[in-house]
Structure 1
């Protein structure tokens, strides 16, 4: 089970590192967008600091998540981004809920798996 967790967490981290790097270097093809999803994308693009901030959080969170010693911090850092991904897919791209849901469950699993490390912050 330990090796499964390690593999899932490294893959999870790499996915977010890749997503963050793509926001800076634009090397992945962007699917054609229309209607409301295009308007949302255009609006997000007008806020000059938003995409670099999300990219930085994805890079940092993905790196922290992939390393076992820093995984608890990475799970908390990436959690708000995961909530945004889930909401975005639920509202605008329901076909993406499958993979987003799997990533969300992995993120929640790591949060609950490391709950004892967060207790001092909430007690």
Structure 2
């Protein structure tokens, strides 16, 4: 279990760092959104702060996952982002669903691997 946790943590951290760095430095030209995704992204971009904020959190979370520090709070900070990635891709961009499943699944797996730390949150 420890080896699987380490592998998933590094893969997810590398993915988060890669996604945020490519956004901030325009390293890869993103595919032009169409249909419902275009409508959604137009609103996100119009807010001027939401996408940079999400990408900054992804960068911080990715670095934390790669370093292995502050894991419990890092995984909780990533959870709403990974759920949102999953929801966006299952509703608007079905071609990217495997990536979304990986991000959410890896996040949930890592939370499960640290479950003893989260049990106190669910006590009465």
Instruction: Please confirm whether the aligned pair reaches a TM-score higher than 0.5, indicating the same fold.
Output: yes
Structure 2: gaps spanning 5 or more residues: none
1:65 and 1:119 mapped to 2: Cα distance?
A: 21
Structure 1: gaps spanning 5 or more residues: none
2:66 and 2:76 mapped to 1: Cα distance?
A: 13
The answer on 1:39 being equivalent to 2:39 is: yes
The answer on 1:62 being equivalent to 2:62 is: yes
Taking structure 2 as the reference length, what is the TM-score of the superposition? 0.86
The answer on 1:107 being equivalent to 2:104 is: no
Q: Deviations over 1:62-83 (max 9, x none)?
A: 1222233422222111111100
Matches within 5 A, 1:1-123: 1-123=1-123
**Aligned-residue CA RMSD (Å):** 1.7
Contact 2:13–2:66 at 8 Å: present in 1 too?
yes
- Runs of 4+ residues deviating >6 angstroms: none
